[in-house]
């Protein structure tokens, strides 16, 4: 049985117990939220070494980090290092988006390199296998697509992005709808091009019941992809995005009826004043399915700083109900991220998630309370101990001037400590 089915029978699974203890939450409340489909648990039945993670209502906002090779750069060791660095700095899951090299071996190697849940986009592999044969991506057969999905499920991936909302009807709308940026989802683009070429329905939509059967067998969480997410601020909230969203809402309900765990992916690029409304609309349209957002990125004119633009959007999205933040690195829109980009992207996303989590969980707020106490007493050792990025803490502290080199700075700090000690009645 899936986690959803067991929860509906009143069973608190081992995974629920683990998550309850790890997050400091009530196991019975978690079970009820899983039973409703408002929370999902990542843990493929074949991925027995993974530490399960919950996303959705009643649990902390989580962060995902994307890694993966490209056709031009196939360095598996580098991707393993990225995965480990991402987990070190707080990524709750890793998505392997590799498109170059031996994709099966890369995926399996990454899965064994870390103990967090792994997500993938199977259509990427189906497409790359066509290119490897010297064929066009649109020459994929339905069988090619399904083989990729089954292979990923059997390998133990915990959640997969399936662009099931890119339907023939929506693709027809694309012909009549003007967009500034167009379609930016890689997987969504593959399927849209396939539909246009063959004049056939999206196989994942047409045979959705079969997709549910496969997901149920392995208890894979279906992440219903936003193939029509806005790739620029002018496209946010347009007809195409909304049409796909309401399709995904219907598919969420069908998945729940089948006992399959499901979440929904969200935008992309959204003006800051639209984020709250878009998140709340998505929650209504999908009956409170866990909502997984990329960013959202709140401005388009800061390439090189999109980890920051995404963190701003992510914090607002999470505050208004988003459950899962996909990190964005400084290399977004520019190229393949390196290890340092991954570190910066994870930290930015963790800041956004923690800023919201501390308003919901007393334990999270207490960390900030203790840091405030340490700062008030200029207790550098304690500040270091509480810091989320200790390497950066040391790096900055080493750069500070000494007391003799900058007595005015030190004097200011000493004055701060002095007045605080006086107010606390601790002056000697």
Q: What is the pLDDT of residue 273?
A: 98
Q: Model confidence over 368-401: pLDDT tens digits?
A: 999 999 999 999 999 999 999 999 999 998 866 5
Task: Give residue 53's pLDDT band: very low, low, confident or very high (50, 70, 90).
Answer: very high
Boundaries of domain holding 387? 363-424
Question: Is 46 marked as binding a ligand?
Answer: no
Pick the closest to residue 284 from 253, 310, 313 (CA basis).
253
pTM passes above 0.75? yes
- Same domain as 150, residue 46: yes
Residue 238: φ, ψ to 5°? -80, 180
C-alpha distances in Å from residue 279, one per residue of 288, 357, 416: 10, 17, 42
- 367 lies in the same domain as 308: no
- 82 domain residue, yes or no: yes
Q: Are residues 69 and 160 in the same domain?
A: yes
The rounded percent of the chain whose pLDDT value lies above 70 is: 93
Does 20 map to a domain? no
Q: Is 358 annotated as a binding residue?
A: no
Buried b (16+ CB within 10 A) or exposed e, 394-412: eeeeeeeeeeeeeeeeeee
Of 328, 360, 392, the position where a domain reaches its end is: 360
* Number of domains the chain contains: 2
pLDDT the model gives residue 406: 44
pLDDT average, residue stretch 356-365: 97
227 is in an annotated binding site: yes
Known binder of ligand: residue 326? Answer: no
pLDDT in tens, 212-245: 999 999 999 999 999 999 999 999 999 999 999 9
Residues 405 and 258 in one domain: no
Is 31 marked as binding a ligand? no
The answer on whether 66 is annotated among ligand-binding residues is yes
* Amino acid 419: pLDDT: 62
Is the residue at 67 inside a domain? yes
Same domain flag for 73 and 109: yes
CATH of the domain at 337: 3.20.20.540
Separation of alpha carbons 399 and 395, rounded Å? 7
Given 360, 385, 402, the domain boundary residue is 360
Please state the rounded mean pLDDT for residues 98-104: 97
266 marked as part of a ligand binding site: no
pLDDT recorded at residue 407: 47
64 shares a domain with 153: yes
Tell me whether residue 38 is annotated as binding. Answer: no
Do 391 and 322 lie in one domain? The reply is no
Residue 163 assigned as binding residue: yes
Beta bridge partners of 63: 325
User: Is 228 known to sit in a ligand binding site?
Assistant: yes
Is 16 marked as a binding-site residue? Answer: no
Cα-based distances in Å from 369 to 140, 373, 386: 55, 6, 10
Range 17-31 average pLDDT: 98
Whether residue 292 is annotated as binding a ligand: the answer is yes
- Based on the fold, state whether residues 261 and 315 are members of the same structural domain: yes
Structure token pair of residue 381: 């050792």
**Residues 331 and 372 occupy one common structural domain:** no
- Mean pLDDT of the 148-154 span: 98
- Which of 345, 360, 375 terminates a domain? The answer is 360
Q: Is 410 annotated as a binding residue?
A: yes
Which pair of structure tokens corresponds to residue 84?
């480990």
Across the strands, what pairs with 199?
none
Together in a domain, 295 and 319: yes
Mean pLDDT over residues 110-128, rounded? 98
């Amino acid at each position: 049985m899936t986690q959803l089915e067991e929860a509906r029978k009143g069973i608190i699974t081992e995974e629920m117990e683990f998550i309850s203890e790890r997050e400091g939450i009530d196991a019975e409340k978690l079970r009820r939220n899983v039973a409703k489909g408002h929370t999902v648990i990542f843990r493929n039945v074949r991925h027995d070494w993974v530490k399960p993670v919950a996303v959705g209502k009643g649990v902390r906002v989580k962060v995902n980090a994307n890694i993966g090779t490209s056709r031009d750069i196939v360095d598996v060791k580098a991707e393993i290092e990225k995965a480990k660095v991402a987990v070190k700095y707080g990524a709750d899951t890793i998505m392997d988006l590799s498109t170059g090299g031996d994709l099966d071996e890369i995926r399996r190697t990454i899965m064994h390199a870390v103990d967090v849940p792994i997500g993938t986009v199977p259509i990427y592999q189906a497409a790359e296998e066509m290119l490897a044969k010297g064929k066009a991506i649109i020459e994929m057969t339905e069988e090619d697509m399904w083989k990729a999905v089954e292979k990923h499920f059997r390998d133990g991936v915990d959640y997969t992005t399936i662009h099931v909302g890119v339907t023939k009807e929506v693709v027809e709308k694309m012909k009549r709808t003007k967009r500034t940026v167009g379609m930016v989802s890689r997987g969504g683009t593959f399927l849209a091009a396939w539909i246009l070429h063959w004049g056939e329905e999206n196989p994942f939509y047409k045979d959705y019941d079969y997709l549910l059967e496969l997901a149920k067998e392995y208890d894979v969480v279906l992440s219903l992809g936003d193939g029509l997410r806005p790739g620029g601020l002018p496209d946010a909230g347009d007809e195409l995005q909304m049409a796909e969203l309401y399709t995904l809402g219907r598919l969420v309900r069908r998945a729940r009826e089948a006992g399959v765990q499901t979440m929904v992916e969200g935008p992309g690029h959204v003006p800051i004043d639209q984020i709250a409304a878009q998140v709340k609309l998505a929650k209504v349209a999908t009956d409170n399915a866990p909502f997984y957002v990329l960013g959202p990125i709140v401005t388009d004119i800061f390439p090189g700083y999109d980890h920051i633009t995404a963190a701003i959007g992510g914090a607002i999205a999470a505050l208004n109900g988003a459950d899962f933040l996909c990190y964005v690195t400084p290399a977004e829109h520019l190229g393949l991220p390196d290890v340092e980009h991954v570190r910066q992207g994870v930290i930015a996303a963790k800041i956004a998630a923690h800023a919201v989590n501390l308003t919901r969980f007393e334990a999270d707020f207490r960390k900030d309370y203790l840091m405030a106490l340490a700062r008030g007493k200029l207790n550098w050792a304690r500040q270091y101990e509480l810091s989320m990025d200790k390497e950066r803490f040391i790096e900055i502290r080493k750069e500070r001037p000494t007391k003799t080199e900058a007595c005015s700075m030190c004097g200011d700090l000493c004055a701060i400590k002095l007045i605080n000690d006086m107010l606390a009645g601790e002056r000697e």
